[in-house]
Amino acid sequence: MTHTLLVTGAGGVGKTTVAAAVAVTAARSGIRTLVVTVDPARRLASALGLDELGSEPQPHRDEPLLWAAMLDSGATWRAVATRHADPGVADRLASNEFFQAAAEHFPASQSYAAADQAATFALAGAWDLVVIDTPPAGGGIDFFTAPAQMADLVGGRLLRWITGGPLPGRRFFYNRAARPMLRVADTILGSDLLERIAEFLLDLRTTYDGVARRGREIEGVLRGSHIVVVTTSDPAPVAEAVRFYRELPGVASTPEAVVFNRVLPDEWVDPPITEGISAQLARCAHLWGMETLRQQDTRAEFSARHGATVATIPWSPDPPNDLDGLAALLDRSSGFPWGRFGMEQTK
């Protein structure tokens, strides 16, 4: 059975690094693991063997049980067209200016692409563990709602109303009931634009059945996945993590743990500031002592308010840039819920 682990959290908290570290640790403990990342920093991509960008999983040259893949949202949108539309329509869609705009602008599009890939890999049966670094769009929650949003985009009731049901041929006819609305829109937008968009929407609508069916598959995978929320102790990402704990149970499942990254050691709360040390050193100790206290306070409050399992990854001076560095990151972590996704050992 394939376990799927979704690593979520705000941007900039080290989510990609944590996802990679989990994958390396899992692979080294004998589990066939695929990690799918979004936009990794160059050093990290290269550590994972992703020098050549590709959305196809590539086996790692030094780590026999590790595969890695990179997310490519543009390609996945084209795949939606190819998979769910007639060949002629798919070509027209792929070269349509609005299709490209929608792929870029539809806020959930990158998330949909990621969720679609996650589902493909989870259902492939080729790995024991698939680790997904989720994209930050829409505060990250989009990843979980994107399949429904996508189905709504291509086949929503409104669209059916505007376009007046299935039509033979290419020519666009307005639904009679929609005419007053379209006159309004014409005044504001110019009629040419509206007609061009409507033609695009008609094409897009032909993909509806396929997209809706696929959406249900994706949602099934997401609901059966494990989730960890990564954050630092800074207020902004913590607020995001709180949102995940509030909203994810409704759209997917309750997160298994909140992972605080870059945690300072507990003993720093009360540093040995003695008479003899320099004023600069005393100030340094005082500042970081306060910061350590604030971090502890943040974790305790999170755990108490949301009943969350709290895992910590200590701060480290150098970002990991190879497999050993990634594995070492989790060696020093505590509270990580390994057992829940197929790894027996507890760190």
Partner 1 sequence: MLDRRLVMVSGKGGVGKSALSAGLAILAQRTGRRVLAVDMVSQGGLSSHFGTGQLTFQPREIKPGLHAMRVVRAEALLEYLSLQLRLPGVGRFGAVARAFDALATAAPAVREIITIGKILWEVREERWDLVVVDGPPTGQLGSYLRAPVSIEELVPTGRIGTQAEWMRATLADPKTTSLVVATLPEELPSTETLETLAWLEREQVAPDPVVVANRVLPDLGRLESDDPILGAMADLHRSLWAEQQHWLERVSPSVRIPFLFGLFTPGEVAAQMSDELEAAL
Residue 112 interacting with partner 1 (CB under 8 A): no
CB 43 within 8 A of CB 170: no
Shortest spacing between CB 201 and partner 1, in angstroms? 6
Q: Could you give the string, one character per residue 44-83, with x where binding to partner 1 holds by CB under 8 A and - elsewhere?
A: ----------------------------------------
The two structure tokens encoding residue 128: 């024991």
Residue 192 interacting with partner 1 (CB under 8 A): yes
Q: Which is nearer to partner 1, 1 or 188 (CB)?
A: 188
Amino acid identity for residue 192 in this structure: D
Shortest spacing between CB 8 and partner 1, in angstroms? 13
What does the alpha-carbon distance between residue 45 and residue 53 come to, in Å, rounded to a whole number? 9
Q: Which is nearer to partner 1, 95 or 187 (CB)?
A: 187
Chosen residue from 12, 30, 54, 59 binding partner 1 by CB under 8 A: 12
Residue 314 interacting with partner 1 (CB under 8 A): no
Shortest spacing between CB 188 and partner 1, in angstroms? 5
CA 259 to chain centre: 16
CA 213 to chain centre: 21
Residue 287 interacting with partner 1 (CB under 8 A): yes
**Which parts of 153-182 interact with partner 1 (CB under 8 A)?**
153, 156, 158-159, 161-162, 178, 180-181
**Which parts of 202-241 interact with partner 1 (CB under 8 A)?**
204, 234-237, 239
Residue 317 interacting with partner 1 (CB under 8 A): yes
Alpha helices for the chain (secondary structure H): 15-28, 42-47, 73-84, 87-94, 97-105, 109-124, 142-155, 157-163, 179-189, 191-205, 208-223, 235-251, 279-306, 323-331
CB 74 within 8 A of CB 103: yes
Pick from 175, 300, 195, 305: nearest CA to 246? 305
DSSP 24-67: HHHHHTT--EEEEESS--HHHHHHTT-SS--SS-EE-SS-TTEE
Residues that bind partner 1 (CB under 8 A): 10-13, 41, 97-98, 101-102, 104-106, 136, 139, 153, 156, 158-159, 161-162, 178, 180-181, 184-190, 192-194, 197-198, 200-201, 204, 234-237, 239, 264-265, 267-268, 271-273, 277-278, 280-281, 283-285, 287-291, 293-294, 297, 315, 317, 319
